Structure 1
Amino acid sequence: MHPATVLAQLDHVTDGPTGGLVPALHPALTHVLPGEAAAVGYARSTNSGARAVEALVAKLEGGAAAAAFTSGSAAMQAVLAGLSPGDHVLLDTGIYYEFGRIIVAFGARWQIAVSFADFCELDSVAAALLPGRTKLVWAECPSNPLWRVPDMSSLADLTHAAGAKLLVDATVITPVLCHPLSLGADLVLHSATKYLNGHGDVLAGVLVTADADNIWAELVAARTAHGSILPPFEAWLLLRGLRTLAVRMARCSQTALAIAEALQGHAAIAAVHYPGLADDPHHALARAQFQAGFGGMLSLTLKGGEADAIKVCARLQVFRQSTSLGGPESLAEHRLSTEGAGSLCPPALIRLSIGLEEASDLLGDLRAALACD
């Protein structure tokens, strides 16, 4: 079935005892077991809501299994828990800044080497890999906030030749638009706080694996040890959000492309960063790897510099000036101000998360803010 159908019906998940079309919320921490019945499990290890999320996202990604967490960062920590002193982790230079900082700090504390390479330059990746020592290659597709698109199949080939696992953070593209596991990734990470939930009211993370091997069992065990399983209420809200994922992604992708095309060549803009643009340097790879659109994230680099970018953000009336992405409302931010000291983000860059508003209202808001002296 088409992903939109699977999502709208939650893959025919219902409240078992009643047949309710909306799955019930079960907050119980433990269960009474009749006779010789197998244990359902203590809530720190599993709950019915998390299992429903996991089954749905694993199906959408074409994965062998999924694990739901309290946040994308908690999912990341479970992956890092599987590393040992002396291991090497390779990150993209364009990795989401906060994850990059956390992984570097983790490596320094636990004697794990962390290095960076440009994942859009395969020669750079090949030179940075340490065969036998590199255990994890951490990619992001597309990278945030320049929305660069790596060749995931070639990246997977290089990673596996070095004896490592490839993780792809697919938060921005979602399983509606791309399936990294089918391109060779071993793990896919979603900050489900963003598009999967889509309402700006849940912290959640999901990991999906191509192969439920021993490493996956260790990862799930780490989640139990850390107590970071997605709680029942958050799982219930996430299932609600997932129902509309396909239509939300279609709408925000369509609007983002319209805005990107309309602002190309604007007198105040030096560059529009969006892989859906025909002349974007990453367009060909995006077309080859994505389905049904290019996502709702784009960025503008202004000609006027950092101060101008900050002023434009402050002038916006329809866009809300805030950090995050993937919600129903469109957001704008001066990204360097958010990332702070040590950021590699261009000073004049404005990051936009396109929501569900009318495209003409968003475009008019941007043009008015850009036109002011």
Structure 2
Amino acid sequence: MSDIPQHGFATRAIHLGYDPLDEQGALSPPLYLTSTYTQDSIEAFDQIRLGERQGYVYGRTRNPTQALLEARLASLEGAEAGVVTASGMAAISATLFSLLQSGDEIVVDQIVYGTAFTLFAQGLTRFGVRAVFADFTRPEAVAAAIGPKTRAVYFETPANPNLRLVDIAAVSAIARGKGLLTIVDNTFATPVLQRPLAHGADIVLHSATKYLGGHGDLLAGAVLGRQEHIDAIRLQGLRYFTGATLSPFTAFLVLRGIKTLELRVQRHSESARQVAQLLRGHAAVADVFYPGLPDTPGADIARRQLSAGGGLVAFELKGGLAAGRTLLDSLKLARIAVSLGDPETLIQHPASMTHASYSAEDRERYGLSEGLLRLSVGLETPEDILADLKQGLDRL
């Protein structure tokens, strides 16, 4: 169907870029399990290698199964093109290694995923790139952190782990005015709820391990943006900086996952909203952070950027870390684990798990308290999730 690109989100996630009649009627796209490709002439090989014609040469750079996934993800994010990688961190590092060089600076929000923080704070410095951290909830702080060597700004929204919100349009406008790239990690919201490119960002990143894959059984990453940037990331960051190619079978699984992405994210969001309301009304809870609550910090930004609150809830207990440990040990349905976006409800303690790479001083400086908990609300029957959480809270 030639009009698929103009169809709705779910239709494109299921159909875009593939006609079963082109593949002997196979309803599911074929899985290409090959590492290398032959050509009918040396001229054809050279044309493909130089980017003068479409085709495939070697699986580290591109594979037809990956290409279909890239086309669908790009469509869902409203991007010109995309490249998939072996993990979310591979997506981040391939992007940075391709677009930055020694002597450059990048301004980064002070709250990001812990391993990404380590890459910015320690890894990039080994190659002469300096990360400058700023509070991205204050656009004026971002502007103040930009210097003559700055080449890009980077942030997550909602941010891991406390779900703080950044105004994409405001930060992108500042960066664009200085000739800088805006890079946004959209893992938590997914393109179902938020599309950063529509608000002025240049590049969108995903850990496809999370909601895009959606079943806790794979590792994958994705970068979406303008063709020129994606070409550079594929041919530099992916091909020879990291070599972190997504396997064709994993690409096949992510293709399967995004077919139900819209439905899953809607269910995650509705259940998470109910969880946030339960937490807000419980005597043991000191504070709740959820973009879907009307009185959450940054609620005005949420109304502009997000179509729903998402599937994650962060909260602090009045009893601090000791109460948090008691709660985690009391839950029967929710599992203690570091990931998110799975069908299973998962809970974790950021200070000792996903954000342990932040020093205690940095956690205190950036507002990551020792008592903060992050809950990834799953797809179980909502009443069961609520009952499990309530029995654990009542023990406090």
The TM tier, using the shorter chain, reads over 0.9
Which one of 305, 310, 313 corresponds to residue 325 of structure 2?
A: 310
The amino acid across from 2:335 in the alignment is: R
Alignment pair present for 1:266 and 2:272: no
CA RMSD, 1 decimal: 1.6
TM-score, normalised on structure 1?
A: 0.95
Shift of 1:13: 4.9
Shift of 1:290: 1.4
Which one of 32, 38, 43 corresponds to residue 38 of structure 2?
A: 32
Shift of 1:15: 7.6
Conserved? CA contact 1:134–1:163, under 8 Å = no
In 2, Cα distance between equivalents of 1:14 and 1:254: 34
Farther off after superposition, 153-162 or 224-233: 224-233
SS of alignment partner, residue 16 of structure 1: helix
Alignment pair present for 1:18 and 2:27: no
The amino acid across from 1:294 in the alignment is: G
Which one of 355, 364, 368 corresponds to residue 387 of structure 2?
A: 364
Q: 1:187 to 1:220 in 2, by over 3 A?
A: same
The amino acid across from 2:384 in the alignment is: D
Q: 1:13 to 1:191 in 2, by over 3 A?
A: farther
SS of alignment partner, residue 137 of structure 1: strand
Shift of 1:92: 0.5
Shift of 1:12: 4.4
SS of alignment partner, residue 234 of structure 1: helix
Which one of 2, 9, 20 corresponds to residue 3 of structure 1?
A: 9
Structure 2 unaligned residues grouped into runs of 5+ = 1-6, 46-54
1:249 match: 265
Alignment pair present for 1:277 and 2:300: no
In 2, Cα distance between equivalents of 1:189 and 1:248: 20
Residue deviations 1:283-315 (CA, integer Å, cap 9, x gap): 111111112x12101111000011110110111
Which one of 191, 210, 225 corresponds to residue 207 of structure 2?
A: 191
Q: 1:99 to 1:14 in 2, by over 3 A?
A: farther
Q: Percent identity?
A: 37
The amino acid across from 2:313 in the alignment is: L
Shift of 1:85: 1.4
In 1, Cα distance between equivalents of 2:129 and 2:284: 44
Conserved? CA contact 1:136–1:164, under 8 Å = yes
1:217 match: 231
1:117 match: 134
The amino acid across from 1:127 in the alignment is: A
The amino acid across from 2:326 in the alignment is: K
Residue deviations 1:201-233 (CA, integer Å, cap 9, x gap): 111000001x222x4432111211132221111
In 1, Cα distance between equivalents of 2:157 and 2:168: 9
SS of alignment partner, residue 224 of structure 1: helix
In 2, Cα distance between equivalents of 1:89 and 1:15: 47
1:101 match: 118
Farther off after superposition, 100-109 or 164-173: 100-109
Shift of 1:34: 4.2
Shift of 1:10: 5.0
The amino acid across from 1:330 in the alignment is: T
Aligned residues: 369
Shift of 1:348: 1.0
Q: 1:245 to 1:269 in 2, by over 3 A?
A: same
In 1, Cα distance between equivalents of 2:62 and 2:21: 17
In 2, Cα distance between equivalents of 1:136 and 1:14: 41
1:76 match: 92
In 2, Cα distance between equivalents of 1:332 and 1:100: 21
Shift of 1:113: 1.5
Q: 1:309 to 1:206 in 2, by over 3 A?
A: same
In 1, Cα distance between equivalents of 2:266 and 2:312: 13
SS of alignment partner, residue 236 of structure 1: helix
In 2, Cα distance between equivalents of 1:86 and 1:372: 54
In 2, Cα distance between equivalents of 1:275 and 1:235: 30
Alignment of 1:94-173 (within 5 A): 94-130=111-147, 132-173=148-189
1:353 match: 376
1:335 match: 350
Shift of 1:11: 5.3
In 1, Cα distance between equivalents of 2:36 and 2:295: 56
TM-score, normalised on structure 2?
A: 0.90
1:86 match: 103
Shift of 1:96: 1.4
In 2, Cα distance between equivalents of 1:78 and 1:21: 33
In 2, Cα distance between equivalents of 1:253 and 1:15: 36
